[in-house]
Chain A
Amino acid sequence: MTDSPTLSFQGGTLVIAHLKADQPPGDPFQWIKGKWRCEAYHYPDVNVDGVRDTVPRWQPLNCQLDDSRVSHDFQNEAIDAWESAGRRGSIVLPTGAGKTFVAVQAIHRANRSALIVAPTIDLLHQWYARLSNALNTEVGVYYGAEKQVRPLTVTTYHSAGNLIAEHGNTFKMIVFDEVHHLPAPSWGETALMSPSPFRLGLTATYPEDHEMENGRWHIDRLIGPIVYQKRVSDLIGKRLADYRTQRIRVDLNKEERAAYEADFAIYAGFFRSRRLRETHGANWLLELMRLSAFERDARAALLARHRILRLLAGCEGKLDALAQLLREHISEQILIFTESNDTVYELSRRHLIPALTHETKAAERKRLLEAFREGTYPALVTSKVLNEGVDVPEAKVAIVLGGTSSAREYIQRLGRVLRKTGNLEAVLYEVIARDTVDEGRAQRRRPKAGTV
């Protein structure tokens, strides 16, 4: 029996077996390492007569759409536009305009196995929850801590390469959430390695052409052009609910104060004598870390900084203030933020309230957020997982203990917690330790005028 030419998917490429060097199949195939090969993203355009095609492993989803939300006209227009463009290209909608909703509808209408690529694990979990609920089906997740591949799977840009190399031909559709990340060299590669003919990009900020050259990928080339675009001004803006910020200053106790002053002297002494902020600007911490690998003073300063942050995260005054706030607001939905993972688990143990961190697995995370949303759990303590675009269930009260100094994060946390709170006034409590670096940090955390 002579073997007939066969097209197969191999590690992000298309390979023709049993076709000799002198039988060129034409563009885009190249003769490499004894076989005719090309990048997998050419698959929809590949048409080779007499070659058996073993690439597609995709299948119908046949899911029941169970999304009670009524779609807006612009959302339907967006899906129609994407479909008439041959199910290729990007939809550009402002933040909060329901991009996930659009994608869920598009997946349901395409009714073929689909892969969703999200930039962060938090967003991966959010997709997992949305898809499980809206399409009533088992959803696979594929990232560092969990790896199950199903006809509907969510992954991160970081893990997508490995997943696609192995299972790229399982999916007829691929969705890139926050597609403006795709031009990054190693992330764009994942789109190059995927044979999926249906490609959907979602973003609020499509990159400019000059941001997609010089070694960066052009999104148009990888998944198709923009097929639909709406700006904030085109849509009726959803106003943020009114809220108030309440700052609570607590004192360190005697021992804490002594430990703090001792460590602060070490840390600040080094910091000032080396003028790190003047010489390295925003990168001062990186420089401190670099120095700490060979200068004993720098190492001591870095260790002192760690101790300070640990002390401030869990100092007695903050714990007491938290207990008091929890008691005051017991009938409302309360979200507690703290920077340190250890503190999250300490608080969870201390008050027997659920914790949500990067360690929490997809299924439990989904259950926790749903229970919080329904009010089964009135309080939830979390570290950084609720950042950047993640749908946080509505809460009336947010309590920030610690937290990082980036203003952006602060705004995002605020906006999210205090979204759609009905008639009740929402409150954000910021609990800081008096006369410590917290005060400066909290100051920096305040948004610049005009950015809210």
Chain B
Amino acid sequence: MLTGELVRPRLVQHGTTLEVKTLRDADRAWLRTAGDLITLWERHTGRTRDAWESAVEEYLGDRVDYIIVRGLAKVLADAATFASPTTLITPEDLRQQLFAAGPAFETRDLFHPQTRHDRLATIAAQLEIAPDALEAALYADRIGAQTITEAGRDWTPAELIARYNLELHRGVLYWSNLMEVQIHDTFKDFWRYLKLFKLMFEAYPIEGGYHVTLDGPISPFVRSTTRYGQQFAAFLPALFLCERWSMRATIRNSKFDRELIYRLDHTAPLTSHFTRSGDFDSRMEADFAAEFQDKLGDARGKWLLTREDEVLLLGDTVMIPDFAFTHQDDGRRALVEIVGFWHPDYLKRKLAKVRAAGRDDLILLVYEGVNLTGEKLDDVPGEILYFATKPVIKEVMAAVERRAR
């Protein structure tokens, strides 16, 4: 991610709202600059961070748009892998040996019969390492001495600009104390990433989706905190996985004398680099959906099957049932969750969630291999259907008819 000083100068205030100046991705001049940087970057694979940074400064010359160019360069470096060079002796040990005899000088005098050169040669001989290698190892543990071991990815100029723009949007959130989001699809990935970035949330359903407020545990007590800004920024690309979404964040930055509102939605030309989970979590879900489509799909049935289109909000966690059935005439709905491949702990957690949901329109399809005692399942609301090898569509649909509301 970009540092604050590469983002701040790009922020502009419009009344009570905040905007960030991104680059137009079709801008010829910027495509050329991005292309130059990519070429320069490719030439620096295997070289040091210091070498890369001075090459960027040299390329910059006296250009006034250095904040943007440095930002583009940072995006390139951030995607790469750096590693400290391996040395025959650890730099700290070497320093201890080389410095033990006090200051060294280029020329001899009465008190210093050994020159710097002599000292290096002596230690080099003792260690059986060439003097040049000693010089190289002396401060090989500094950050600037790290070499670029993997370039990260192959960039096109347009991709680099797109990613830079994304990082600017992310950067705005560094100074955010609250982020509110409305999503209308792709719920599972959204919640998966929320969890990954350890964000607290509060959600309620709205027409065709959810309104989610993001913050951290201490936020309700200190509204001024921007402690979670970094996490909001890290999380942001998860939103771009959704088809329809909008985001509103409050921003406090000393550049502006008041709290400002920052808005983004799905019309922004942003693509996520986060991975989307597959269509189905398991083979069983895929098979079930395929069989339903085959036997009852399209015009042949009254029930429409959709995937993960409803979220059960359970306090500080959520459950997203695998399928929802919606009656095409009267709109009645029932939810279906397949409990297949399992682990005792996983199952316990799942059942606790189901119990907490208290929804009797939820149908659990359990494989017989699942070893549950009858008494534990008694207080699970809704239906439980057992299957030896795979769910029988007819039985499932009968349960859907019974439970839908």
Interface residues of chain A, those whose CB is within 8 Å of chain B, are 10-13, 15, 30, 32-35, 37-39, 161, 165, 185-186, 189, 192-193, 215, 292-296, 298-300, 303, 323, 326-327, 330, 345, 348-354, 359, 364, 376-379
Contacts and interface: CB of A to CB of B under 8 A. Distances in A.
A255 B99 CA distance: 32
A11 B218 contact: yes
Given A326-B103, A377-B99, A33 B200 contact: yes
A349 B102 contact: no
Contacts of A293: 9, 64-67
CB-based closest 4 A-B pairs:
A11-B217, A34-B315, A352-B104, A12-B218
Interface in B91-116: 92, 95, 98-106, 109, 111-112, 116
B154 interface: no
Nearest to B67: A293
Contacts of A35: 315-316
Contacts of A32: 220
Contacts of A193: 218
B142 interface: yes
B305 to A, nearest CB: 32
B316 A33 contact: yes
Given A327-B105, A378-B102, A189 B316 contact: no
Contacts of B104: 351-352
Contact of B100 (A37, A161, A376): A376
Contact of B221 (A13, A34, A345, A378): A13
B253 interface: no
B102 A33 contact: no
Contact of B222 (A189, A294, A296): A189
B329 to A, nearest CB: 37
Nearest to B202: A33
Given A165-B227, A303-B62, A359-B142, 12 more contacts: A13-B217, A13-B218, A34-B315, A37-B217, A186-B226, A293-B9, A295-B64, A326-B103, A349-B139, A364-B92, A376-B100, A379-B103
Contacts of A30: 220
A185 B221 contact: no
B95 A354 contact: yes
Nearest to A12: B218
Contacts of A215: 224
A378 B63 contact: no
Main secondary structure of the interface of A (DSSP, over half): mixed
A328 to B, nearest CB: 10
Interface in B50-109: 62-67, 92, 95, 98-106, 109
Interface string B102-140: 111110010110001001000000000000000100110
B217 A192 contact: no
B381 interface: no
Contacts of B393: none
Contacts of B99: 352-354, 377
Given A11-B216, A189-B227, A294 B64 contact: yes
Nearest to B50: A342
A169 to B, nearest CB: 13
B225 interface: yes
A34 B316 contact: yes
Nearest to B352: A3
A219 to B, nearest CB: 16
A12 B67 contact: no
Contacts of A33: 200, 202, 220, 315-316
Interface residues of B, number: 42
A185 B218 contact: no
B347 to A, nearest CB: 16
A349 B116 CA distance: 9
Contacts of A378: 102-103
B222 A37 contact: no
A40 to B, nearest CB: 8
Contacts of A37: 217, 220
B63 A352 contact: no
Contacts of B92: 364
A211 to B, nearest CB: 18
Contact of A351 (B64, B66, B103, B135): B103
Contacts of B143: 359
A10 B316 CA distance: 13
A377 B102 contact: yes
B174 to A, nearest CB: 13
B149 to A, nearest CB: 21
Interface in B131-169: 135, 138-139, 142-143
Contacts of A38: 221
Contacts of B100: 376
B64 A299 contact: yes
A299 B217 contact: no
Nearest to A38: B221
Interface string B192-223: 00000000101000000000000011101110
A351 B218 contact: no
A296 B65 CA distance: 10
26 contacts: A11-B216, A11-B217, A11-B218, A12-B217, A13-B221, A32-B220, A33-B200, A33-B315, A33-B316, A35-B315, A185-B224, A186-B226, A192-B218, A293-B9, A293-B66, A296-B62, A323-B105, A326-B103, A327-B111, A327-B112, A349-B135, A351-B105, A352-B99, A352-B101, A354-B99, A377-B102
A52 B202 CA distance: 26
A12 B219 CA distance: 10
Interface centre among A192, A294, A351 (most CB of B within 10 A): A351
A267 B109 CA distance: 42
Given A299-B66, A354-B95, A189 B218 contact: yes
Interface in B346-362: none
Nearest to A15: B217
A399 to B, nearest CB: 12
Interface string B237-254: 000000000000000000
A432 B222 CA distance: 50
Contacts of A323: 105-106
Nearest to B225: A189
A345 B139 contact: yes
A39 B218 contact: yes
B227 A186 contact: yes
A186 B225 contact: yes
A280 B64 CA distance: 21
B62 to A, nearest CB: 5
Nearest to B96: A367
Contacts of B220: 30, 32-33, 37
Contact of A352 (B66, B119, B200, B227): B119
Interface in B304-348: 315-316
Contact of A379 (B102, B112, B202): B102
